[in-house]
Structure 1
């Protein structure tokens, strides 16, 4: 689960993080501190350029528990890092570019709830709310059945009967939450967004803040992304 980061922990992460000359997938694989394999269910385009990072089984509403992020409105490769030893889902990411990672931002937290995490556009959230049948309960229906059938070999791109599609991954159980962060290249363009569920190091993998990196993206490139302090 996600503890509060101390200033010493942040300094250690910045000093010991992956080198900047890596693309997002290599950066993530090295940084999690575990031997992982990459799993990809395909591509997904976040129509409208906004995504909620949230538990996709219970946190269907927008609100303070659902992090809203401005992202490229372009096809992203959905990837998961799966622990080679135990088959656990370590991380899920949306990757738009193979440009080297220079910096990024801590965007928020996905609260631990049902053991799932997802990236959904506001339209996907609305479709999920419209599809939900409260009389059936959280763990029933074709959507829940789909998630159960795929677990634990996720991420997957879940589909609703109306055709809505969005990426979902297994996460974990307990109290607390999982960090969500962005990665950017030297031009300030977002290359990836990820949510991390487990780590082989002493703390969560977080990028050097773009405000602390030698290159600072302009304000418009970071519109809608709020870094935690």
Structure 2
């Protein structure tokens, strides 16, 4: 299947949208460097932290470097939306044997195992169950995992994308409000408390990832 034919498929269009959003996001970050190197570095810090350690770490980093709450929320939503729009169609291409993406195959297998584990619940509650799965503020219920499960239980592509993006956006807002209150409380004890919280979150996520890798 050539690229033109691939683009005509729903998953191909989703992937194209992800590529366009990624390019626009990178251009915006690049332009930010001309107006404020410090701001651009902080924004890149959110991106990197979210990609490596998840939304809780990305949000806490934003608070640690004293960015506004709206910017912190928006940055994390865009990052996770891009991940969904890129990885979801790549999974489908791999599932249909159109592409073989070795570095993602292990992740895809873990998601399929997770889908089997909760198969009855997903089938019973459908898109509503998927929304709750993505919305619940835990690291292992991320939007990419949710999107792939949506495909595996037979939901339509665009239904899956909308449900997952709404769920993850709400989850990010909930995390942001919680962390904002927590950091405000901790700062009454120490000015460095927010960085301690940030390091603690990274340590917890790293431990969970290490445990999952050894399973």
TM-score category of the 2 structures, normalised to the smaller one: under 0.3
Task: Tell which has more relative contact order, 1 or 2 (C-alpha 8 A, sep 6+).
Answer: 1
TM (norm. structure 2) is 0.27
Greater share of strand: 1
Name the larger-Rg structure.
Answer: 2
TM (norm. structure 1) is 0.26
